[in-house]
Amino acid sequence: MNDLREQSKIKLRFTDEGNPVTMLIVLNVLVFILLNFIEIMYILGNTELSLFQTEVMQWFTMPAMPETLFSRAWVVLTHMFTQESIWRLIGNMFFLWAFGFLLQDLYGLRHTAPLYIYGALAGALLFVLSVNLIPRFAESAAQLHYTGPGAAIMAIALAATTAAPNYRIFPMINGGIPLWVITLIYVIVDVAGLASLAFPYHLAHLGGALTGFVYLKSVQRGADPGGWMHRIYHWFFNLGKPGVKKKAPVSLKKQVFYNTKGNPPFKKTATITQQRIDVLLDKISQGGYESLSPEEKEFLKRAGEKDL
């Protein structure tokens, strides 16, 4: 199956328009550029950088104090896209790209953004709770802030690993390294930070990891935890479009037997064609490998064994 995908045209490229992973990376980079531009203005204006933290960053990062958080409710969203270090940005975006594209290749484009948000929110909740409930950190709660997509990326990493733990990368190294090994190292390195003053931050990342595991398991059971997010998204962006009408329901018979979605119908034949391979790969990119029927999976298996 992996050889087949390497030989054929895979649609999930970094530059795909509308790809959730690409959109999340772009959003993280844009927020980083904006904040650094403002910081440069502070430097050129010979202003103390401490003022940049109190006058700008506090409006993007999540405070540990609940009363402060309630007065800046929007930071629940902005904190998951805010990073100050260029090296941390590069590292986070690399892992988001690697794990995110693998998850989308297996389960389609639908779950990436909701999983990112769920993971970030779970991490932020654990951060606030740990700071306020552990006396060691409660003393300095007013000075602690949480920021970055670490928990969100950890959620995507665990979801991708749960979906395909034996997926192998770096095939040139003794046949490849199983994905679960890479993820285990990734998690262990983060867990090591629990034995430090950064305990609340690393606990937040573990909360994101647990969220990713639970989310993917619910999807495998047939649930759609992110469905309500998609409905809100489409409702919001259709507000300014007059005349948008709700589509009449299409009968199952018409949808299954008569809707060709612009593609010419296939004739029943045993011949393996590149055309059908491309259509099935498009279907995988939208709904994931699990969306294929047993007959389609068998077709791709036979195609992978055949040198087209």
Q: How confident is the model at residue 11 (pLDDT cuts 50, 70, 90)?
A: very low
- Quote the mean pLDDT of the chain: 81
Which letter, b or e, does each residue of 244-261 get, where b requires 16 or more Cβ atoms within 10 Å of its Cβ? Answer: eeeeeeeeeeeeeeeeee
**How is residue 157 written in tokens?**
């990493």
* Residues contacting residue 180 through CB under 8 Å, at least 6 positions apart: 161, 165, 166
Q: What is the Cα–Cα distance from 197 to 219, expressed in whole angstroms?
A: 36
Q: How confident is the model at residue 269 (pLDDT cuts 50, 70, 90)?
A: very low
* Residues contacting residue 167 through CB under 8 Å, at least 6 positions apart: 102, 178, 179
Q: Is 257 helix (H, G, I), strand (E, B) or coil?
A: helix
Q: Where are the domains of the chain?
A: 20-236, 255-305
Angle at 283 between CA 280 and CA 286, to 5 degrees: 155
**How is residue 43 written in tokens?**
């430097």
Q: What is the predicted pLDDT for the residue at 9?
A: 37
φ, ψ (nearest 5 deg) of residue 104 = -70, -35
| CATH architecture of the domain covering 20-236 | Up-down Bundle (1.20)
pLDDT in tens, 96-119: 999 999 999 888 888 999 999 999
**How is residue 71 written in tokens?**
């007065």
Percent of the chain with pLDDT over 90: 40
**How is residue 149 written in tokens?**
């997509």
pLDDT in tens, 124-148: 999 999 999 998 898 888 889 999 9
Q: What is the Cα–Cα distance from 125 to 66, expressed in whole angstroms?
A: 11
